[in-house]
Structure 1
Amino acid sequence: MAAEAVPDLESVSRNFRPALVAFFSRRVRSHAEAEDLTQEVFVRLAQSGIGTLDSTEAFIFRIATNLLRDRARRDQVRAAYRLSIEQDDALNTDILDPHRVIAARETIGILWAAIQALPEPTQQIFILYRVENIQKQTIADNFGYNVRTVEKHISRALMFLTRRMGGRS
């Protein structure tokens, strides 16, 4: 029986290989993938256990369609797995290395020292506006200043801190 199947499979291959390669080429990225899938159709056809290979075109293309579906499912599972791994890595990885943490703490210390060096009303106004996010009008009302005076204090504080911090970022 195996001796009979080989010539039948060869003739089916000669008749359907170009059509199958064209079928797969329209649906996959590369010609090599199309060739691999075509070969897989003939492997499945040989393994199907059909006594004679007078297979109809519909049966051969049903195998081809099923291969494409299997490939799509496999690609979908792999993509979902890759995404889950990336998400797990993002959750378990500390993006802050110790050197950056130490450098940031030093910069904050220098900034805080510079803020402490500001004259008293400018320091308070700057902290209320930039740290506490209180509106300029509210600050002006509490200090008995007009809004333009509060803006000048904030501007002076920013210029002073910029000079004091130098090129640090």
Structure 2
Amino acid sequence: MTPSPSEPTGWARLLRRIERWAGRSADAEDLLQTAYVRLYTARATSEVKEPAGFIYRAAVNAGIDHARQDRQLHDRFDIDHDGALLRDAAPMPDEVLASRQRLDRVREGMAKLPPRSQEIFMMHRLEGLKYREIAERVGISQSAVEKHIARAALFLTDWSEGW
């Protein structure tokens, strides 16, 4: 015999069992309702021999499914303990546009630098080379490398001021 949602003792007994598994009564009620929907759906295509067992297993499976979805949601977004969305990790469209504009401004400034300063600055910033390594590659002193990088950084800072 199927415990009916309208039958208080059967519903309450299943609810207590699911509460013990789920830990929270609000979650348990949602899981139990989901399980009943799954039971009625399953009965449309086949015979369910143990409805109470089916309902319990369906509620547990629904709880596992919800936990997986929550985990995926937590991985994609910053979510606090109550499940409230704090912040999407992706930048806002206006932030993307502003970053692109700043990058374009820096590129314009880089084009205004002497070619040797451009080369040395890029070797340091993009390739991550140390001053000594750049000096060896280019064939100048480490002091000259420091001056090229300092001039380039100062120029680009002034050039990008206000952007």
Normalised TM-score (structure 1): 0.48
Highest CA radius of gyration, 1 or 2? 1
Name the one with the larger helix percent: 1
